[in-house]
Amino acid sequence: MPENTFEADGERVLADLNALRAIGAYKTGVHKPTFSEPHLRSLAWLTERLAEAGLTGSIDGIGNVIGTSARAGPKLLAGSHLESQNHAGWLDGPLGVVYALEAARVINSDPSVHGAVEVAAWCDEEGHFGHFLGSRSYVGLVSEAEIDAARDRTSGRTMREALREAGLAGRARVTAEPGRHVGYLEAHIEQGEALESGGLAIGVVTSIVGIWQYRIDFTGEQNHAGTTRMAIRKDAGLALARFCVAIDDRFPRACGPRTVWTTGRITLDPGAPSIIPGRAEMLFQIRDDDPAVIDRLETLLRTMAAEASAAGPCGVAVERIRIGHPATMDPAFQDAIEAAGKSLADGRSIRMPSGAGHDAQVLATIMPAGMLFVPSIGGVSHHWTENTEDADIVRGARVFVEACRRLLRERDGRPRAAPAP
Amino acid sequence: MPENTFEADGERVLADLNALRAIGAYKTGVHKPTFSEPHLRSLAWLTERLAEAGLTGSIDGIGNVIGTSARAGPKLLAGSHLESQNHAGWLDGPLGVVYALEAARVINSDPSVHGAVEVAAWCDEEGHFGHFLGSRSYVGLVSEAEIDAARDRTSGRTMREALREAGLAGRARVTAEPGRHVGYLEAHIEQGEALESGGLAIGVVTSIVGIWQYRIDFTGEQNHAGTTRMAIRKDAGLALARFCVAIDDRFPRACGPRTVWTTGRITLDPGAPSIIPGRAEMLFQIRDDDPAVIDRLETLLRTMAAEASAAGPCGVAVERIRIGHPATMDPAFQDAIEAAGKSLADGRSIRMPSGAGHDAQVLATIMPAGMLFVPSIGGVSHHWTENTEDADIVRGARVFVEACRRLLRERDGRPRAAPAP
């Protein structure tokens, strides 16, 4: 039992997280792609816990779970996601959902608080079928046509089929009720090593970086790997390799202090050992919280492609396939997290941008939003070895609940009541 | 009708090739992977033509078709293959089979020749399930265990399943009868541009290059593409790109005049746009007709891998996965083709190595072997636009048939008869 009845119960938080880890376990992590059986079972698990916590919620027509409270007063929305990347970690997503659930349990029964925490699990934050489909649906940015076109990037299964098989086809999609929430708070593992290497416990997120994503195509000439002399080859794969190396050489001179860029996928066509690839493709992304830096790098990228095409022997074409603008976290939310960290984490917090995308950036388009990070061991993420010390998980939960309380109290318009004994 | 009854019939050769092109047509080429329906139909087509030509043959337990003759005297084996690469050309394989069929029709009824041409279509020269499985089975180099383990590289279907579905499971595999053949002759398109650019009609193959194939593995650290600073990344994909570029920079200083090397496939693991690849793999091959050159290049490759591993941040491991030793073509076969080219192609022939692998290199391990090339338009190969001028196809067929006649006459041990009128 926690010392204070209206504080997060660390053991309950750990038990909940381990219960979710047991659903779709893979080594020490989980494998819960969107709309997989373990993902759906995790959503069902959550709706049961919401009911126990006095919230009303079910799975909506896009796979979101939103638990609402009948309690009077301001409402704070809190949550994250329950699906995982393929064969990935147990905390990426569930941590924020369980913190939100715990906050609802504690705060909504705290007589010193006027108002309630409501809980969300956004579907497909990990982008198996699209990007931020669940939270974007909630803020009204997903059309039926987008759902018609969405397919699982691994299996190719359509989203319509997945919804049908999950029994969700035809259900309404819940969208935000204007003015209902004072804002949105999300907790997440850092997924980097800044907190751990600084001996810190809490990250106060200032902004979520923008992600610009590109498909870069190389066109050469497909030919026989044995009979075509080196001098006359137009090897699209080699052109791609040279381009990757050129990016790595030239981007550092043009980037900002926190810019990152990644080639995550390479495909040679036809991809056979005895055929010189006639086409090659790379998926490339740039992240920064300063749009001016990204603009500068995109210009450089296009210049480099033009130079490479002019030099030959292969053509290089850059196509931007996704823009995610940077999102600023609400200053009052940052202050509330920092203040909670002062009292419950010895002030071992730091203000920092998020290099990863999160549903909070989508919610930030319609309400004030904030994010709290806890440390990741070794900075490992998107891998089944991803982990966080139990003590950091428990400490993070306490800070999160306290931040929720502070945010609701600031907005209830009533004089502060003393905490119950 | 040809001028001489015992000469190749150019129209019949073109009609046969077009009949085979119509089976599994794809654009102006074909799509006939090994054991696909169009491949099996092409084999059935051949067995019917063999019967019409007085040969006895059926599809054996590995998908080879061998047509044998009851005619007395020495036997010359001739052939090539009928399956294709995916979405590839119409002549790569069928040309040599149709030339062999035409040679059997002409020679086996030529009273001036003592002996016969026998016809082979070797299964899976294109390596959908392995490498040279058909010809290697015929010379006794394929075990049942190798067949058990073989899978289609595209679909993953096992060879056992493919054989079962084709109705070939349980059939015996035909192997070479020692001493039966005076040798093996194969015709093929050049798949390069040496003949075309030299205004030549016939390539007399001197040797078939060796192919050394490698899997090169890069081990870094899988991590989140947004939260991991550039300075601490261990990006296996970037290490691979740098290695490809280093090969292209350093190999030219160590290679021979005809060496070629190719990276045909690249795989990043996990291959997602928002994940720094923790592992990467490339399939790499080196071809040369001088084993000493290949040895030197392999040593360089291993040195480069050790240097890259030592420099970090990723480990590089080179594994040799296939050796194909160079094969020398029999001098008497080279002379016979050259002499035939003198009388039927105005001497427009050249002696040259084959940069591509062919079944002839497998047959050369048990009998004298030779190869004849015809020009490829633009040197294009392993692509559906692959083509050869009709006039070159017809000229090649005449030279091929004449070369067969010369080889049988040289070996019949009887005085030469005058050609029939």
Model pLDDT, residue B5: 81
Report chain B's C-alpha Rg in angstroms: 23
Nearest beta carbon to residue B272 from set A223, A264, A275:
A264
The pair of structure tokens assigned to A278 is 């006639």
Q: Which letter does DSSP use for residue B179 in this model? A: T
Please report, as a single letter, which amino acid is at residue B365.
Answer: T
Please indicate whether, in this complex, the C-beta atoms of B223 and A383 are within 8 angstroms of each other: yes
Calpha distance B6→A109 (Å, rounded): 102
The pair of structure tokens assigned to A358 is 């999160």
End-to-end CA distance of chain A: 15
Please indicate whether, in this complex, the C-beta atoms of B224 and A265 are within 8 angstroms of each other: no
| Contact by Cβ (8 Å): B224, B398 | no
Nearest beta carbon to residue A228 from set B237, B260, B272:
B260
Model pLDDT, residue A1: 45
Q: Residue B418, Cβ neighbours under 10 Å: how many?
A: 7
Q: Which mean pLDDT values do the consecutive 10-residue runs of chain A (421 residues) have? A: 78 98 97 98 98 96 98 97 95 98 98 96 95 94 95 94 97 95 97 94 95 96 91 97 98 95 97 93 95 95 98 97 90 97 97 94 95 95 93 98 96 57 41
The pair of structure tokens assigned to A248 is 């790595």
Nearest beta carbon to residue B380 from set A223, A244, A381:
A223
Closest C-alpha to B174, from B69, B74, B68, B324: B68
Interface mutation vs chain B, best among A228, A294, A385, most B CBs within 10 Å: A228
The pair of structure tokens assigned to A286 is 């740039």
Report chain A's C-alpha Rg in angstroms: 23
Model pLDDT, residue B3: 56
Nearest beta carbon to residue B228 from set A192, A267, A278:
A192
Tokens 């050394």, located at residue: B212
Q: In order of start, what are the domains of chain A with their CATH numbers?
A: 10-208+328-411 (3.40.630.10), 210-324 (3.30.70.360)
The pair of structure tokens assigned to A126 is 């990990």
Chain A CA closest to residue B222 = A383
Pairing of strands B279-288, B260-269: antiparallel
Calpha distance A190→A179 (Å, rounded): 30
Chain B CA closest to residue A127 = B274
φ, ψ of residue A29 in degrees (nearest 5): -115, -145
Tens of pLDDT, residue by residue over B367-401, are 999 999 999 999 888 889 999 999 999 999 999 99
> What angle, rounded to 10 degrees, do the helices at A390-411 and A331-344 form?
130
Interface mutation vs chain B, best among A274, A276, A354, most B CBs within 10 Å: A274
Calpha distance B26→B8 (Å, rounded): 28
> What angle, rounded to 10 degrees, do the helices at B37-52 and B94-107 form?
10
| Contact by Cβ (8 Å): B289, B173 | no
Please indicate whether, in this complex, the C-beta atoms of B265 and A260 are within 8 angstroms of each other: no
The ipTM (two decimal places) reads 0.77
Give chain B positions within 8 Å (CB) of A87. 270
Calpha distance B162→B168 (Å, rounded): 9
Burial class (CB in 10 A: 0-12, 13-18, 19+), B41: middle
Please indicate whether, in this complex, the C-beta atoms of A227 and B192 are within 8 angstroms of each other: yes
Interface mutation vs chain A, best among B84, B227, B284, most A CBs within 10 Å: B227
The pair of structure tokens assigned to A115 is 């108002």
Model pLDDT, residue A131: 84
For residue B146, give Cα distances in angstroms to A69, B48, B158, B244: 65, 30, 11, 32
Interface mutation vs chain B, best among A27, A91, A154, A223, most B CBs within 10 Å: A223
Calpha distance B176→B13 (Å, rounded): 27
Within chain B, which residues score under 50 in pLDDT?
1, 416-421
The pair of structure tokens assigned to B102 is 């035409």
Q: Residue A242, Cβ neighbours under 10 Å: how many?
A: 20
Pairing of strands A223-224, A275-276: antiparallel
Model pLDDT, residue B238: 98
Calpha distance B27→A241 (Å, rounded): 31
Give chain B positions within 8 Å (CB) of A208. none
Burial class (CB in 10 A: 0-12, 13-18, 19+), B52: exposed
Tokens 């080219």, located at residue: B341
Model pLDDT, residue B131: 84
Calpha distance A294→A286 (Å, rounded): 7
Question: How far apart are the CA of A193 and the nearest CA of chain B, in angstroms?
Answer: 8
Nearest beta carbon to residue A285 from set B241, B273, B379:
B273
